[in-house]
Amino acid sequence: MFSKKSNEPEVNSSENSENQYTEATSDSTPEVEQASYDAGSNGYSNGNSGRSNPTKPSIISEGFEFVGTITSDGVLNISGVIKGKVTAKSVLVDSTGLVEGELFSDQVMVKGKVLGDINCDELNIGPLAEVDGSVSYDSVHIQRGGKIKGHFIKK
Amino acid sequence: MVEANQSGCLFVGEGVVLKGNFAVPDIASVSGVVEGDLSAKQVIVESTGLIRGKVTAESVDIRGEVAEQLTASRSLIIRSSGKVGGSVHYAEIEIEKGGSLHGDLHLL
């Protein structure tokens, strides 16, 4: 999913689409997207490579706020703000990302902030992450420095 | 791991069952079973170790199991074979993949 081959055309296509639609954000957005791909290659997507997922990741970019319910069978990269319920196969909350609400996913990687309950199989919490809520997991990895409050339940 | 100077340290060997409350000035290394409260500067629970009670220390390193309550005022590391249940208070936490945590987590 995050291999070099599929990565490059994706970045190109996003640059094209920016030229078409916006000029104001064209400086910042590629960095955000690049950052999320880098994050993906840091071991986050390793477990996902076995069950290959043909769909591209859905991206909530920095500065974007979404209120409501998101449901996806694929990968969701969150650099912006989501208030509401999120269901996806794999979720990455990037360092600028914030989720206020419930998070249901097979794989969750948190580098930003999650205020609300997390229900997942594989949870990975980065060193700058903040999690406040009830967490139900099968396998967890918390890197040193992650700030976590709430109730932990191993399934 | 065991320093030359062992003053102020507690070592609980595998197979040993210790019941009571213990105040250890330096390192407490547990490979056996401790039933009761344990406070130390540093607590190391080896893979065969089990503490059933209240654990209070600056830094805690867990390869075995801790049940009931755990307070680590500086750092808490739960290794891949480690298991922690009950209420946990920490300043800095790290859980290796495979480590298990079941209970309430509080930031000091």
Q: Closest Cα of chain B to A133: distance in Å?
A: 10
* For testing contact with chain B, the best of A42, A137, A143, A154 (most B CBs within 10 A): A154
Q: What is the mean pLDDT of residues A28-57?
A: 48
Identify the pLDDT of residue A17.
Answer: 43
Q: Which structure tokens are listed for B54?
A: 């209240």
pLDDT score of A39 more than 70 = no
* End-to-end CA gap in chain B: 28
The answer to whether the CB atoms of B95 and A150 lie below 8 A apart is no
| pTM score above 0.90 | no
Mean pLDDT for chain A overall: 77
For the cut 60, the answer to whether the pLDDT of residue A2 exceeds it is: no
C-alpha triplet B44, B50, B51: angle, nearest 5° = 80
The minimal CB distance from A154 to the residues B92, B100, B105 is found for B100
Q: Is B93 on the interface with A (CB under 8 A)?
A: yes
Across chain B, what does the average pLDDT equal?
94
Cβ–Cβ pairs < 8 A, chains A and B: 44
Is the predicted pLDDT of residue A97 greater than 80, yes or no?
Answer: yes
Could you tell me which residue, A26 or B36, shows the higher pLDDT? B36
CA dist., res. B38 & res. B58, Å (int) = 12
Q: Is the pLDDT of residue B51 over 70?
A: yes
- Residue B67 pLDDT > 80, yes or no? yes
Position B6 scores a pLDDT of: 84
ipTM confidence: 0.87
Q: Which of A46, A113, A115, A148 to mutate to test the interface with B (most CBs of B within 10 A)?
A: A148
Least confident of A46-60, A119-133, B54-68, B92-106: A46-60
**The pLDDT of residue A42:** 43
Residue contact B102–A139, C-beta within 8 A: no
Residue with more model confidence, B55 or A50:
B55
Residue A36: what pLDDT? 41
| CA of B75 vs chain A CAs: smallest distance (Å) | 9
Q: Is B30 exposed, middle or buried (0-12, 13-18, 19+ CB in 10 A)?
A: buried
**Best residue in A46, A114, A132, A144 for a mutation probing chain B (most B CBs within 10 Å):** A144
Contact A123, A137 (CB under 8 A): yes
Tell me the average pLDDT across B30-38. Answer: 96
pLDDT of B1 > 70? The answer is: no
Confidence at B5, pLDDT banded by 50, 70, 90:
confident
